[in-house]
A and B are shown apart, each in its own frame.
Chain A
Amino acid sequence: MTEQEFDQLLSKYADVVVRIGLNLRKGQRLILRGILEDAPLMRKVAESAYKAGAVYVEPIYTDERIARIRFEHADPESLTEVPNWMLARYEEYYERMDAELAIQSSDPELLAGIDPDLIAKERKAIRQKYEPLRKYENTTNWCVVATASPAWARKVFPAVPAKEAVEKLWAEIFASCRIYEADPVAAWQEHVEKLKKYRDYLNAQKFTALHYKSPGTELTIGLPEKHLWQGAQAEFKNGITGIPNLPTEEVFTTPHKDQVNGVVSSTMPLNYSGVLIEEFSLTFENGRAVKVSAKKGEETLKKLIETDENAARLGECALVPNSSPISQRKILFYNTLFDENASCHVAIGNSYRDTIVGGEDMTEEEFAAAGGNKSLVHTDFMIGSDQLDIDGLKADGSRVPVFRKGEWAIKV
């Protein structure tokens, strides 16, 4: 790929992000969040956004090394220090209805070797500080995308030289985001229509539970009476319809926080805060994980589910066929944005308000009573494979095949 070809692809990608992902409106301001390595995409997005009529584009860069340096050199007691102004700044953005793009290109090994206790302590302080922002969920048009940062590319393609690894990862990102299509915008529209059909079918079925069966997994996930399946597109409270994740292949809803029972085994490693958790399983009783085991990173996993009262419960279950374009690549991306679209998954922790009918207007008590989970964390892990069968259970006791051998068993 020449520099010029890459530049053109990056421009197309930025246009898809601005037009399809964010669906940015003339006169809006746009917040861009990323690491310094994301700068080339952030600049393209800024250009595209200004051309779409943005009045101000604000880049918020972080440098991951600074975060690691803190763990290595700061007094451990000081790790709970989170300045107030960050919270105030995001409140201002959401109150003004600014659009927000978050870029996730982190080094999966960033915090390798750092004491999990310290990581948990720092994460929890940050989550607690940001907790008041929960009420702004889906307030404005937001989108999450990725760039091929060198550290991430090295992790995904360890066997090839650094430059080639970055090129290969870019190719994966462009392909999964349909940037190579002659008309990426039209391709996205068609894809979104298909996901909406699965979503509508599932909503019409009104399942009371899903039953998962595959090697190492025998799990029943009860669904709240008013659960709502979502997929691809979201309607934000500021009236804009957009696609919050690029790529996206999933339809998802929330489990009932008290009605998950059985064992579930991960089918891919989980990258959590720069630590890899591998070959793990969780056993649930009445919604709570009562036992966890992992070949690697077990301590970190335990800390994760001990973050707060409900971090040991599930807040999302998502369906992705094994034949999805990302799954077919047979690559482990060590990045949730990609890996979750390769596989059926569930999330530990918080439920999205929009996965329960009327959830966005409920008090915390009402949301919990409806079966929704509230936690500081929301962490996806992958449980799909070509050996996964899922049945939908109805109130009358009948069972409907939803997935067979990792593929949709329903026709839409």
Chain B
Amino acid sequence: MTSETQHQELLAKYAEAVVRVGLNLRKGQRLIITNATSRGVPPAGREFVYAVTKAAYAAGAKYVEVIWGDEEMLRLRLQHAPADSFDEYSNHIVDATMNMIQNGDALLSVYANDPDALAGLDAERIAAMQKTHLTHYNKIGAQVSRNAMNWCVVASSSPAWAKKVFPDLKQEEAEEKLWQAIFETTRATLPDPVAAWEAHIKNLKARAKYMQAKKYSSLHYKGPGTDFTLGLPNGHIWGGAQALAENGVIFTANMPTEEIFTLPDRHRAEGTVAATFPLSYGGSLIEDFSVTFENGRIVKVNAKKNQAILQKLVDTDEGSTRLGEVALVNATSPIGKRGHLFYNTLFDENASCHIAIGRAYRFTLTGGAELTDEEFIAAGGNVSLNHVDFMIGSPHIDIDGIKDDGSREPVMRAGEWAFEA
């Protein structure tokens, strides 16, 4: 049982780590706090947003802009709006965010959503609404993809999310337990979260450096339902934990983060890969699914639940039939060892090895930020409105690194790192 005072202290420590390590907010920067999925932070995130706002002003922020979003409004629109009205959009979040980015400001995305917000609603309407949103929001995606500014994605507990993660607990207990999980995985429960983050970041960077030195030409995954080879393009860059933004700030884009990652070659993926966790996408949960590739292209998807939504995701655009990220996470990471799903990519991707359908991050390819879309694609990078991670790691997965000469080295065995860094 956590007292209100303890809870507020943990919130403050968490918020401080987000502002100091995650965003590394600079004095005089402005900060925009938002959330693309719900067109703003859901009200459930209020307490945490207050804590971040205080920490940001304490760090010398010139202005903190909070955009609030209401998932119920999205449901109402999908239920009641005219069928031909889904190309209507409000550019204000895009304009606001672009305005801040161009000004050298920082961006924080706060998840406090209902993973099932759009459950049971018409898939056609959802797809039409999402496509309009992504078409406009792509402007921001492009800026994030090249690390134009210091940005960070974090989460707050929310009633609906907590109940989803802990369905057997009473509402209040579930929320408290989810907060506990968030505080622990973001190291807020440690005496000095900022120092703990610095040590953790050093470790991830060492692993990324090892993988970088190896220059593998592909990775081979083998496990239950998975026999899958993924090419890595020349010039791929393994990153982890920290990145340098174009505005000169070194930041940590996700809290928590346990992954090292790079981009796959969009033209080279072969075989079938089985998801090891459900995927929460646009408010729907896609479960028990697998994806089959030929020449880098998704040729078949199979899902026990919400196959239509998965198919719509893949059909969004050409780039959505291909991959844009490959990430390695050991199965006993602080999140993986908790042994339960979070139904949220930020956490689940840090429990498990994963790949992403859609857009590749420009900064994962040498010189990628300077290339035109065509040049980036020719170099193996992927361009898409989407970037959707799904989990393929488990304690039963082995991964080999394959070199140009065809020789193989173990990268992971039974879900754990097979090398020292």
A residues with a Cβ closer than 8 A to B are 29, 36, 39, 42-43, 46-47, 50-51, 53-63, 65-66, 69-70, 73-75, 78, 81, 83-86, 88-89, 92
Contact = CB atoms under 8 A, between A and B. Distances in A.
A43 B70 contact: yes
Interface residues of B, number: 38
A203 to B, nearest CB: 40
Contact of B63 (A36, A61, A78): A78
Q: Which of B57, B69, B82, B90 has the most CB of A within 10 A?
A: B90
Nearest to B75: A43
Contact of B95 (A39, A46, A60, A89): A89
Interface stretch (B42-50, B199-207, B250-258, B329-337): B42-50
Contacts of A51: 80
A83 B63 contact: yes
B233 interface: no
Nearest to B53: A69
B62 A46 contact: no
A86 B96 CA distance: 8
B40 interface: yes
Nearest to B43: A36
Nearest to A78: B62
Contacts of B410: none
B81 interface: yes
B40 A43 contact: no
23 contacts: A29-B88, A36-B43, A36-B68, A47-B80, A50-B80, A56-B77, A56-B81, A56-B90, A57-B77, A59-B70, A61-B43, A61-B68, A61-B69, A66-B64, A73-B53, A73-B57, A74-B61, A78-B61, A83-B96, A83-B99, A84-B99, A85-B92, A89-B92
Nearest to A46: B76
A47 B81 CA distance: 8
Contacts of A81: 30, 62-63
B225 interface: no
Interface in B26-70: 30, 40, 43, 46, 49-50, 53-54, 57-58, 60-66, 68-70
Interface in B85-135: 85, 88-92, 95-96, 99-100
B68 A57 contact: no
A36 B69 CA distance: 10
Interface of B: 30, 40, 43, 46, 49-50, 53-54, 57-58, 60-66, 68-70, 72-73, 76-77, 79-82, 85, 88-92, 95-96, 99-100
B30 A50 contact: no
B77 A61 contact: no
Given A39-B70, A56-B85, A66-B49, A73 B54 contact: yes
Contact of B76 (A29, A47, A61): A47
Contacts of B96: 83, 85-86, 89
What are the 9 A-B residue pairs with the smallest beta carbon separation, nearest first?
A: A50-B80, A73-B57, A56-B88, A61-B68, A55-B85, A81-B63, A85-B99, A89-B92, A74-B57
Contact of A54 (B40, B81, B91): B81
Contact of B68 (A50, A55, A63, A92): A63
Nearest to A36: B43
B371 to A, nearest CB: 29
Contacts of B81: 50, 54-57
A62 B53 CA distance: 14
A43 B72 CA distance: 7
Contacts of A55: 81-82, 85, 88
B82 to A, nearest CB: 6
Nearest to B94: A85
A50 B53 contact: no
B90 A58 contact: yes
B68 A62 contact: yes
B113 to A, nearest CB: 15
A69 B57 contact: yes
A39 B62 CA distance: 29
B220 to A, nearest CB: 48
A83 B100 contact: yes
Contacts of B91: 89, 92
B95 A85 contact: yes
B308 to A, nearest CB: 25
A27 to B, nearest CB: 9
A46 B77 contact: yes
Nearest to A53: B82
A66 B57 CA distance: 11
A52 to B, nearest CB: 10
B110 to A, nearest CB: 13
A70 B76 contact: no
Given A43-B70, A83-B99, 5 more contacts: A46-B73, A59-B73, A61-B68, A66-B66, A75-B57
Given A36-B43, A50-B81, A53-B82, A63 B99 contact: no
Contacts of B64: 66, 70, 74
Contacts of A66: 49-50, 53, 64, 66
A97 to B, nearest CB: 14
Nearest to B60: A75
A47 B77 CA distance: 8
A86 B82 CA distance: 28
A92 B94 CA distance: 14
Contacts of B60: 75
A141 to B, nearest CB: 18
B62 A43 contact: no
Contacts of B99: 83-85
A183 to B, nearest CB: 24
Contacts of B62: 74-75, 78, 81
A255 B415 CA distance: 79
Contact of B66 (A29, A57, A59, A63): A63
Nearest to A40: B72
A51 B57 CA distance: 43
B43 A39 contact: yes
Contacts of A61: 40, 43, 68-70
A95 to B, nearest CB: 13
B100 to A, nearest CB: 7
Contacts of A73: 53-54, 57-58
A69 B50 CA distance: 8
A379 B183 CA distance: 46
Given A51-B80, A63-B68, A36 B46 contact: yes
A86 B99 CA distance: 10
Contacts of A36: 43, 46, 68
Contacts of A46: 73, 76-77, 80
